[in-house]
């Protein structure tokens, strides 16, 4: 007979857990026979004692198998099933371009994304700013759209990795969210339930990242690569910079509009383009759709230049319930914020640092982000024309342009922007966007 308390004691005392024990514990999380207090006790034991690689793989696979697992083999897709996941940040609109770009190169992308919370923006919130876009199609429609269009971006359904939802909710109120082992199991259980051939992780580092240091970001990336491959999915990871907003803006409708401009070639900021291309290239290589980085980048650039990627994004929006002419006329579908004003630099000099989390919280204060999961968003609000690290400014240079619903909202965002942007006398070097790429064969045992 399985007793959860004995399972918890084993991890508390640093004894090895068996795969069968892990599976029974996760089953108990799913069916309710394991209490919240027992989940939190186990999470705290893992927080202090970690999991071995085998235990981490076992926990991830058990959570993956706690609900429905998607299949694609019966559809006889003519290309690999690929996906990417980001640990989140500010102005991280990559998924909206990446999915159509990969589809234009022969991949199939069933992307299950989340909503934003706190300073991080959510892919689902950006797409929900599009009138009519339904992020929760039926499973059959989801599969059909992936097959016919090549990409579909939806929200997590209740039957995918249900054990993770309860486990995460308990961790969130018990101070155990930061465990690398549990973060890994949480991320991968949902992604692997989507039936992927390849997963590429984008692990952020810097002032707007979830992990506070490069060392911890890299450690998380390494663990995800090991566990993902151990669970049978070809997994690699990039550690990318989040010391400033990735896009030139932050806010839901604002970022979606920037994604459209990127796909059509109207505007492509250098750092957003570098990260998007690097992630896409890694996916094409891992999926066997490109021979090397040069080949991958050439294919991706062709997908952009030909208009194929933009066309696919438009088709995805239309098949998900959005406007059929969204790519051509996206501007008319986004209501502007009532108040749009710049925040000028208080002095001349160079941008020496950015509290990227602070900028994200400015968007949240405007109503464009959540403090609690149930908060209703104002899709109109956000920041545009964000200054870059190393940029020269003076009293006539906007640090950002605030899109606000009210005067009070503008003043709060203005205060946060001024606090978030550091100005000094000497220029600073702009950070590297892609710090490293981690693949299973490169990791030491």
| Residue in 11, 84, 226, 299 annotated catalytic | 84
Is the CA virtual torsion 119, 130, 325, 281 positive or negative? positive
Active site annotation includes 69: no
- Would you say 63 and 167 are in contact if contact means Cβ atoms under 8 Å apart? yes
CA 27 – CA 11 distance, rounded (Å):
18
- Would you say 142 and 110 are in contact if contact means Cβ atoms under 8 Å apart? yes
| Residue in 11, 64, 85, 308 annotated catalytic | 85
Active site annotation includes 186: yes
User: Which of helix, strand or coil describes residue 421?
Assistant: strand
| Residue in 86, 87, 120, 264 annotated catalytic | 86
pTM for this entry:
0.95
Active site annotation includes 84: yes
Active site annotation includes 126: no
The DSSP output letter for 347 is S
CA 224 – CA 218 distance, rounded (Å):
10
What pLDDT is attached to residue 309?
98
The predicted-structure confidence for 59-118, as pLDDT tens digits, reads as follows 999 999 999 999 999 999 999 999 999 998 999 999 999 999 999 999 999 999 887 766
Tokens of 320: 């998900």
| Residue in 64, 119, 190, 357 annotated catalytic | 190
| Fold of the domain built from segment(s) 73-329+434-440 | Pyrimidine Nucleoside Phosphorylase; Chain A, domain 2 (3.40.1030)
Residue 445 banded pLDDT, cuts 50, 70, 90? low
| Residue in 115, 191, 223, 308 annotated catalytic | 191
What pLDDT is attached to residue 210?
87
Q: pLDDT higher for 115 or 34?
A: 34
What pLDDT is attached to residue 217?
96
| Residue in 60, 186, 207, 240 annotated catalytic | 186
| Fold of the domain built from segment(s) 4-49 | 1.20.970
- Is the pLDDT confidence value at 148 over 70? yes
- Is the pLDDT confidence value at 209 over 70? yes
Q: Among 2.40.50.180, 3.90.1170.30, 3.30.565.10, 3.30.559.10, what is the CATH number of 336-424?
A: 3.90.1170.30
| Residue in 11, 165, 171, 315 annotated catalytic | 171
| Residue in 66, 95, 123, 264 annotated catalytic | 123
User: Which of helix, strand or coil describes residue 177?
Assistant: coil
Positions of CATH 3.40.1030.10 in the chain: 73-329+434-440
Positions of CATH 1.20.970.10 in the chain: 4-49
| Residue in 83, 197, 202, 378 annotated catalytic | 83
User: What is the average pLDDT score of the chain?
Assistant: 95
Residue 126 banded pLDDT, cuts 50, 70, 90? very high
Positions of CATH 3.90.1170.30 in the chain: 336-424
- Would you say 83 and 199 are in contact if contact means Cβ atoms under 8 Å apart? yes
Active site annotation includes 273: no
Mean pLDDT of 306-326: 98
The predicted-structure confidence for 336-376, as pLDDT tens digits, reads as follows 999 999 999 999 999 999 999 999 999 999 999 877 767 78
DSSP one-letter string for 68-119: -----GGGT-SS-BEEEEE---SS--HHHHHHHHHHHTT-BEEEEE----TT
């Amino acid at each position: 007979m399985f007793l959860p308390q004995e399972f918890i004691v084993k991890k508390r005392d640093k004894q090895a857990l068996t795969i069968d024990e892990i599976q029974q514990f996760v089953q108990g999380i799913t069916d309710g026979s394991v209490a919240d207090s027992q989940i939190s006790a186990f999470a705290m034991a893992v927080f202090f004692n970690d999991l071995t690689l085998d235990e981490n793989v076992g926990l991830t696979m058990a959570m993956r198998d706690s609900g429905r697992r998607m299949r694609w083999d019966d559809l006889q897709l003519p290309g690999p099933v690929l996906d990417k996941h980001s640990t989140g940040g500010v102005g991280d609109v990559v998924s909206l371009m990446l999915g159509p770009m990969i589809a234009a190169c022969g991949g199939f992308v069933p992307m299950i994304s989340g909503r934003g919370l706190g300073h991080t923006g959510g892919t689902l919130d950006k797409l929900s700013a599009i009138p009519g876009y339904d992020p929760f199609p039926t499973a059959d429609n989801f599969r059909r759209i992936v097959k016919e269009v090549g990409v579909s971006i939806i929200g997590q359904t209740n039957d995918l990795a249900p054990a993770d939802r309860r486990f995460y909710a308990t961790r969130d109120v018990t101070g155990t969210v930061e465990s690398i082992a549990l973060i890994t199991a949480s991320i991968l259980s949902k992604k692997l339930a989507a039936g992927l051939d390849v997963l590429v992780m984008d692990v952020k580092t810097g002032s707007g990242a979830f992990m506070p240091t490069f060392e911890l970001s890299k450690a998380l990336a390494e663990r995800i690569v090991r566990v993902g491959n151990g669970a049978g999915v070809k997994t690699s990871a990039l550690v990318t910079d989040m010391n400033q907003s990735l896009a030139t803006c932050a806010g839901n409708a604002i970022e979606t509009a920037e994604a459209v401009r990127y796909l059509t070639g109207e505007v492509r900021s250098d750092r957003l383009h570098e990260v998007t291309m690097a992630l896409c290239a890694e996916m094409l290589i891992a999926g066997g759709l490109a021979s090397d980085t040069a080949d991958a980048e050439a294919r991706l650039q062709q997908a952009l230049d030909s208009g194929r990627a933009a066309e696919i994004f438009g088709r995805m929006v239309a098949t998900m319930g959005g406007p059929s002419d969204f790519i051509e006329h996206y501007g008319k579908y986004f209501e502007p914020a009532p108040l749009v004003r710049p925040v000028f630099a208080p002095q001349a000099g160079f941008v020496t640092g950015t509290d990227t989390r602070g900028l994200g919280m400015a968007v949240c204060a405007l109503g464009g982000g959540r403090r609690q999961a149930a908060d209703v968003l104002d899709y109109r609000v956000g920041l545009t024309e964000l200054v870059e690290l190393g940029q020269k400014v003076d009293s006539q240079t906007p640090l950002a342009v605030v899109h606000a619903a009210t005067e009070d909202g503008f003043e709060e965002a203005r205060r946060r922007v001024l606090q978030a942007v550091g100005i000094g006398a000497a220029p600073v070097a702009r950070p590297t966007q892609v710090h490293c790429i981690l693949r299973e064969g490169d990791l030491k045992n």
